[in-house]
């Protein structure tokens, strides 16, 4: 199987690319940090900036030159901006949406005509637990992942008759090693009325990620799902407590659920 994968330079994208290669797939990986075409470790690496239409077109053309097929497209590219809603600028929201959501749209538009022409394909979109519930000081990322969730449902219905399967991967916290993709709202400082809550929430977020699940295990799960005759529409890969958080979010009244999350991230009410 020929697989295109975005965001493959670090974190969950890199772990997934390695797992796909180990499973015997031809992996054509893209990332903004790849400055030139390379082929180390059996993975073919090409420069790719998913926020640029020109870069997406160039990646697709080079990938087709390496192999005329694209059996699967796995989209892991993403960035995060931490900050309260009021402090996070419109430009920071735009930057996250442009990478985490519109980047997927651009890549799908490049791959879908090829998949339709060859009679089928598979698209795996990395969402997040944040695509299912809100987390304080992660509103930009949460909004982008909520957009991915709704978009993927539409894509799944529209492409089914062309033999194209769509799967949403919803990871919880993983030790992803992707600190270079994590940013903080530029206007955030100690003078902000949100400072205490922001410091508390970002400490909890960092602690949970450092103690998160093994990214290599996630990569192997994605590789196994890709090999199935029929992929699930959703694949949640998270710890039991994060599965519970999603369940309670859907079960409890919104006010009570918000109170629980506020106490968890802020340590007070």
pLDDT tens digits, 240-260: 999 999 999 999 999 999 999
Q: pTM here?
A: 0.93
Domain with 147, as residue range(s), is 2-266
Active-site residue, from 10, 18, 93, 127: 127
Rounded to 10 degrees, what is the CA torsion of 145, 150, 155, 161? 140
Active-site residue, from 93, 128, 139, 141: 141
Active-site residue, from 93, 145, 176, 265: 145
The yes-or-no answer on residue 145 being catalytic is yes
Q: Look at residue 48 and give its three-state secondary structure.
A: coil
The yes-or-no answer on residue 141 being catalytic is yes
pLDDT given at position 31: 93
pLDDT given at position 137: 96
Q: What is the spatial distance between Cα 101 and Cα 74, in angstroms, rounded to a whole number?
A: 13
Cβ contact 152:187 at 8 Å: no
Split into its structural domains, the chain has a count of: 1
Cα 52 to Cα 26, 58, 234, 236, 238, distances in angstroms: 25, 10, 28, 29, 31
Q: Look at residue 191 and give its three-state secondary structure.
A: coil
Q: What is the spatial distance between Cα 163 and Cα 122, in angstroms, rounded to a whole number?
A: 8
Q: Look at residue 116 and give its three-state secondary structure.
A: helix
pLDDT given at position 35: 79
pLDDT given at position 38: 72
Domain CATH code at residue 75: 3.40.50.720
Q: What is the spatial distance between Cα 14 and Cα 258, in angstroms, rounded to a whole number?
A: 34
* Residues of the chain where predicted confidence (pLDDT) is lower than 70: 177-181, 268-269
């Amino acid at each position: 199987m020929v697989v295109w994968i975005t965001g493959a330079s670090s974190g969950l994208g890199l772990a997934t690319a390695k797992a796909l290669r180990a499973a015997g797939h031809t992996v054509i990986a893209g990332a903004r940090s790849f400055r030139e075409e390379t082929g180390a470790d059996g993975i073919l690496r090409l420069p790719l900036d998913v926020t640029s239409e020109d870069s997406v077109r160039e990646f697709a053309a080079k990938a087709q030159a390496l192999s005329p097929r694209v059996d699967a497209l796995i989209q892991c590219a993403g960035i995060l901006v931490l900050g309260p809603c009021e402090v996070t600028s419109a430009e920071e929201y735009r930057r996250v949406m442009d990478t985490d959501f519109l980047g997927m749209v651009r890549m799908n538009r490049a791959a879908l005509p090829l998949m339709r022409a060859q009679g089928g394909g598979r698209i795996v979109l990395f969402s997040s637990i944040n695509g299912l519930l809100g987390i304080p000081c992660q509103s930009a990322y949460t909004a982008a992942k909520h957009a991915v969730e709704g978009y993927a449902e539409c894509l799944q219905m529209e492409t089914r008759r062309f033999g194209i399967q769509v799967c949403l991967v919803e990871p919880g916290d993983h030790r992803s090693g992707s600190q270079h993709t994590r940013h903080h709202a530029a206007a955030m400082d100690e003078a902000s009325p949100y400072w205490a809550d922001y410091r508390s929430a970002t400490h909890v977020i960092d602690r949970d990620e450092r103690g998160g699940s093994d990214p290599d295990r996630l990569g192997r799960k994605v590789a196994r799902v890709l090999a199935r005759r029929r992929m699930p529409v959703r694949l949640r890969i998270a710890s039991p407590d994060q599965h519970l958080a999603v369940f309670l979010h859907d079960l409890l009244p919104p006010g009570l659920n918000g109170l629980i999350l506020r106490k968890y991230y802020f340590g007070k009410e």
